[in-house]
Chain A
Amino acid sequence: MLPVTMASTLLDKLWALHCVADLGDGESLLNIDRVFLHERTGSIALQGLADAGRALRDPGRVFCTMDHIVDTYPGRGDETAMPSGRDFIVATRAAAREAGIRLFDVRDPQQGIVHVISPELGIALPGSTVVCPDSHTCTLGGLGALAWGIGSTEAEHAMATGTLRVRKPRSLRVTFDGELAPGVTAKDMILHLIGREGAGGGAGHAVEFAGNAVRALSVEARMTLCNMAVEFSAFTGFVAPDATAAAYVEGREYAPSGSELALARAHWRELFSDVDARFDRELVIDASAIAPTVTWGTSPEHCLPIGEPVPDPASEADPARREGMRKALGYMGLAPGQQLAGLPIDGAFIGSCTNSRLSDLRAAADFLRGKRVAPGVSAVCVPGSTTVKRAAEAEGIDRVFRDAGFSWREAGCSMCFYAGGETFGAGKRVISSTNRNFEGRQGPGTRTHLASPVTVAASAVAGHITRAERRVEAA
């Protein structure tokens, strides 16, 4: 039973459930159920602990994967396109062994992007607290987990003590009312929200996504929605676990089973915001009015429905925002008033913890079946995990991508970000199912347009930015 009696938000309940002690000054000592590391920062955190002579409190609750730096070329090993990438892989492997934690190594059949494999394997669960030295840990909110990104020093703290010192964020409920139009996805919902409220719009808040349109989403789509809570500057985002979430969890390797499952299900059923609970802030969005959305600039807030012209900084009242828009247009090689629909692209990328799960690949493949990527467009699909890759191959999805002209990769973060390895190149315009369109995110000078996997597939085939249906073709 939960130690909460008054009308509470889900955030209140999760907080109370995990609160070990009130530290005063607004800070709580929260119990941390799972720590997940990756080779980019994992070895630094593990080494930090070892150097300080500190042990892991419970190695069984700590996991590690190879996703950020590892290559995604077929036949990959420890060598990487990123200079010195091998050092990270080797150091992480050694540190993980030393610490006695479960490592999903380069050739492990369960290897993959941290936020894809942790729910896939039942490591992240509804109502659990999960942290990782990676900002997109909020993805797991899609399952109803309280999950957030931390730095390496905090990861050391979590591993050594099984807890973190955290200030409780304010609560914000974002209700998506109504039904999404056909072809509109969770990616469009979150871009729409960030475009409307600004990239700083969720600062200081934990966002509960609610409403009919959210309830109707699969758990995988809910993870897409929550993935970009951090791009909204939120502490995290989550969706209350329901029957859909409980059904998702069942049968996964690390998930409860047998009599524990019944206990867990009863526990998860208590995890919702009470009807009369008060939120610090509320936003309501008409889901039916959301269109396929794409970014034009270098912040996720720089987005618009495909078919609308790029805005003019001159019409922005806020000087800092105006300056940001001006710089973004320069970097992206765009002019105010220009149409994005019809804009030629050089690259198309489907992958990342935002949109690389099986349902994403299915949706893109449904569009691609029998079609070809336009000449001159370099198209890449990177499944989020080796498990996703295997499942896709079993369905013949890899063939659809390959026949269309996409390259089909091993699982990993790949070109979601640039670490000195592979990139589409300077000045190249890329439509991408990822979550960050920051300057240089996909490589120095690379111009990233964020969109849903279906929009990426449609644009790859057209050779220019377009939505999946024919209605708003400009060029």
Chain B
Amino acid sequence: MEPLSPLRRHTGIAVPLLRNNIDTDAIIPSREMKRVSKHGLGEGLFAAWRYTLPGSREADPAFILNDPAYRGASILLAGANFGCGSSREHAVWALHEYGFRVIIAPSFGSIFYSNCVRNGILPVELDEAAIARLAGAVAGDPAGRPLTVDLEAGQVLDPEGRALGFTINPGHRRMLMEGLDVIGLTLERAADIDAFEQADRQRRPWIYR
């Protein structure tokens, strides 16, 4: 695994995409996953909405990511159940390659959520009304009115510097802040795993062959 860039505090342009149930097929259509690779996916991000025709690269001006005001956006404001659907980690790789570091939504698809924290994207859960207010606060001048997300403090700061608290599992926070090698951490528990399997072999021998 490549080392992840640690994420403690991030300030950036926020772009609202306030639809519920934005699924991972929409984030990265299957047809955009052309190579056996985690790379080269940023272009395919939201391809069905971003481009005028399937397979084309002609920007659809109606789609918000194509609005020059949001160029360079790194914080995505989204609707409920963001990242539901297919488990494809490509969705997270595509968001990351495009430049997103933080996604703020009322709720997330659970596989997507865990893919995010393992790939250096911070998923922040805030309620719908708060997200709508943030979207309103940045509108008009997204570059001049960036948001700041402070993972250490567990806060989102609106353009006026007003703080909105959020909670995140401490393990996930550490993973994001320190860019941990999770497999390495778990392998340190090899003795526990060996002991478990030894006992389990007695209990369920048919699992081990």
Contact = CB atoms under 8 A, between A and B. Distances in A.
A399 B114 CA distance: 46
A204 B31 contact: no
Interface in B31-89: 31, 33-38, 48, 54, 79-81, 84-89
Interface stretch (A151-159, A275-283, A341-349, A459-467): A151-159
B128 interface: yes
A436 B86 CA distance: 9
B186 A87 contact: no
Given A161-B193, A264-B206, A153 B115 contact: yes
Interface stretch (A103-111, A318-326, A374-382, A389-397): A318-326
Contacts of A440: 25-26, 29, 48, 54
Interface string A23-54: 11111010101000000110110011000101
Contact of B87 (A133, A426, A444): A133
Interface in A12-32: 20-21, 23-27, 29, 31
Interface residues of A, number: 82
Contacts of A169: 110
A260 B206 CA distance: 6
B35 A87 contact: yes
Interface stretch (A210-218, A305-313, A416-424): A416-424
B207 A203 contact: no
Nearest to B30: A419
Interface in A78-118: 82-84, 87-88, 91
Contact of A20 (B35, B169, B189): B189
A473 interface: no
B134 to A, nearest CB: 15
Given A84-B35, A161-B187, A233-B109, A320 B26 contact: no
A72 interface: no
Contacts of B193: 20, 29, 31, 57, 161-163
Contacts of A428: none
A154 B26 contact: no
A320 B182 contact: no
B151 to A, nearest CB: 15
Interface string A431-475: 000001011110011000000000000000000000000000000
A134 interface: yes
A426 B81 CA distance: 27
Interface residues of B, number: 58
A88 B21 CA distance: 29
A29 B186 contact: yes
Contacts, number: 192
Contact of B33 (A33, A419, A438): A419
A371 interface: no
B21 A324 contact: yes
B48 A444 contact: yes
Nearest to A302: B21
B101 interface: no
B81 A203 contact: yes
B183 to A, nearest CB: 5
Nearest to A236: B110
A298 to B, nearest CB: 8
A333 interface: no
A196 interface: no
Contact of B171 (A25, A44, A148, A163): A25
Given A27-B171, A157-B183, A162-B193, A60 B26 contact: no
B85 A324 contact: no
Contacts of B31: 82, 418-420, 444
23 contacts: A24-B171, A31-B197, A31-B200, A41-B89, A43-B36, A52-B183, A60-B209, A84-B34, A84-B35, A125-B206, A151-B87, A151-B88, A162-B197, A200-B81, A204-B110, A267-B204, A320-B79, A324-B19, A419-B30, A419-B33, A438-B25, A440-B26, A445-B54
Given A83-B34, A420-B34, 11 more contacts: A47-B36, A61-B207, A61-B208, A165-B182, A199-B21, A200-B80, A263-B204, A301-B21, A320-B79, A439-B25, A440-B29
